[in-house]
Structure 1
Amino acid sequence: MEALATLSVWQVGTIALKTAAYFTGLSASGGLVFILLFGRHLAGEDTTVICRMTARLAVAGVLASLAGFLWTAAALGSGFSSAADPLLLSIVFESRGPALMLRIVGLVLVLGMLIRARGFGLMVAALGGALVILSFTPGGHPSALDLTPWPQLLIIIHVTAVTYWLGTLLPLLVISRRRDDERLGTTAKRFGDFAVYIVAMLILAGALLLWLLSESPTAFIASNYGQLFLGKLLLFALLLGLAALNRLRLTPALFTGDTRAPQRLKASIRLEIAAVITILLVTATFTTLARPPGLN
């Protein structure tokens, strides 16, 4: 499509940094959700590894968010020196400052889980995770539709669902490295049980947002935004297929003594992570390059 064929270096950088911010921010918050939901079923060593991984993702999320902020200023001035221009920085901060500060504060609070992976530490981290999720809702196309608070609420539901899904996959990969099929199977089964409701949330929120963003099906499909959005839906369908395979075939096999089941599940989890990253990349692309045809 035309929008992709004419990508500039600045747009490529913006998309890459957006994707990095999405992945690290949502993964850090999701890792916290995983500890809250499944921590009691984990071995102490696994909890420690997952907490440290979540902390590293939180730090990376802060760096990616700050880099994106500076890159936007540089792009406005068409030069790296513009990243230090007070005027351009103030312009970028005026539009993105609240979300940026919310995300950075949230990610720093997520590090509270390192203080103690329960009690006060988790309470502080949970507050941080909520702030990170909220940081992805201000601004963007849906908020410009003048239909608040409904579009914002739908985005919160959507981002929360993605946070759970993405944040659970990385810890599951950590657990899969241990030769404890029963513990892995129990955790994967609990994830699948919750995922049924998460899928329903994603589909409902996505369908309603799609309806709000499109003035007509024909115009939507013909637009650059619509074509990229449909690409995202195809990737999501692939993700659902992998999730169904995990729930119906690979996870039950862990309880039957199938020696190949752990490796198969690990490979499937890696494919899911790759699919989610690709979905985040597509999301970053169409929010950077295109506008919904129904946006006034």
Structure 2
Amino acid sequence: MVEGALIAARFALMIDLALLMGLPLFWWTMGLPGRRGIVALLAISGALLSALWLLASAAAMTGTPISSPDWATAWILLTMTPIGPVLAVRGAALVLALVAAALPHGWRWALLPAAVAAATLAWTGHAGATEDTVGSLHRAADVAHIWAAAGWTGALAVLLHAVLTVRATTGEVQHVARMLARFSVMGTLIVATLVISGAINAVMIMGVAQLPALLGSTYGWLLGAKLVLFGLMLGLAAANRWRLTPALEGGMPATTLAHLRLSLIVETGAAVAIIALVAWLGTLDPAV
């Protein structure tokens, strides 16, 4: 129950910070109007979820229920461990994102502090425990992985909303088709970054010689499930790019839209499941 609360807190925080960075990134690269209110809401919820994650971490350490917060342990985590500086940086970044969101067109300026806030997740998982130069490389790869995942998450959120709300009129359908086509370049960069940084992370966490041991561990099975879901997302993204988007541009909008909606719903569901698995993986010993 205590571990479940920690995993749930990590999951909600990862979703929030991914959207906080990913939405402005997609709006900016696609030339779309941003939503300051959404950015502000995500910044505020990011701060609240960070506090919840701290309490869940304290509860997991002491074995006490999160419903009865262990304030003493939480204070120790804040003042005597690296968690304190990490949360300070994240908190400052979230405040800057919130201030930026209050300005006209400020959602663009919120992208940089949002990226910093998302990057702090690298210091609260396995990468944060790696030391020396190897640790710096591990965290750099993890930050790249987080940013790429955030970009894909934000893109899926906007694209799914677009296909679910679009009416089968030529102008609106063509706008969605152009958005999907333009995302292909960004999507290729995201996938390449995820593959390279993910491979580096796997080697850093386990070591090359220990990779076969993953087959017999809970960590390995969850990682395998993550890779299967990632493969599913790649297949759906490829179908969207090479089959459904051209069909949407060429006619039959009603039929194609139905297929595209289903595809993006499944792809988004797979992305959410992957984030849930990552939240779980971050609480496990890779050797167990």
Structure-2-length-normalised TM-score: 0.87
Moved more, 194-203 or 122-131: 122-131
Structure-to-structure mapping, 1:251-270, within 5 angstroms: 251-259=245-253, 260-270=255-265
Contact 1:25–1:132 (Cα < 8 Å) also in 2? yes
Deviations 1:53-95 (A, max 9, x none): 343333332222221112222344414475252x212222234
Q: In the alignment, does 2:38 pair up with 1:15?
A: no
Moved more, 267-276 or 93-102: 93-102
Instruction: Name the CA shift for 1:113/1:175 in 2 (closer, same or farther; >3 Å).
Output: farther
Counterpart residue identity of residue 9, structure 2? L
User: Could you tell me which residue of structure 1 aligns to residue 201 of structure 2?
Assistant: 209
Q: In the alignment, does 2:174 pair up with 1:182?
A: yes
Match 1:171 to one of 158, 170, 173: 158
User: Could you tell me which residue of structure 2 aligns to residue 5 of structure 1?
Assistant: none
Match 2:93 to one of 94, 99, 106: 106
Q: How many residue pairs align between the two structures?
A: 274
Contact 1:26–1:132 (Cα < 8 Å) also in 2? no
User: Could you tell me which residue of structure 2 aligns to residue 230 of structure 1?
Assistant: 224
Contact 1:32–1:110 (Cα < 8 Å) also in 2? no
User: Could you tell me which residue of structure 1 aligns to residue 242 of structure 2?
Assistant: 248
Instruction: Name the CA shift for 1:37/1:126 in 2 (closer, same or farther; >3 Å).
Output: same
Contact 1:228–1:286 (Cα < 8 Å) also in 2? yes
Structure-1-length-normalised TM-score: 0.85
Counterpart residue identity of residue 247, structure 1? R
Contact 1:82–1:88 (Cα < 8 Å) also in 2? no
Contact 1:105–1:131 (Cα < 8 Å) also in 2? no
Structure-to-structure mapping, 1:61-140, within 5 angstroms: 61-77=46-62, 78-80=64-66, 82-83=68-69, 85=71, 87-93=72-78, 94-111=81-98, 112-117=100-105, 121-122=106-107, 124-140=109-125
Q: CA RMSD in A?
A: 2.1
Contact 1:28–1:107 (Cα < 8 Å) also in 2? no
User: Could you tell me which residue of structure 2 aligns to residue 29 of structure 1?
Assistant: 21
Instruction: Name the CA shift for 1:108/1:257 in 2 (closer, same or farther; >3 Å).
Output: farther
Identity of aligned residues (%): 30
Moved more, 95-104 or 148-157: 95-104
How far 1:162 sits from its partner (Å)? 0.3
Contact 1:225–1:291 (Cα < 8 Å) also in 2? yes
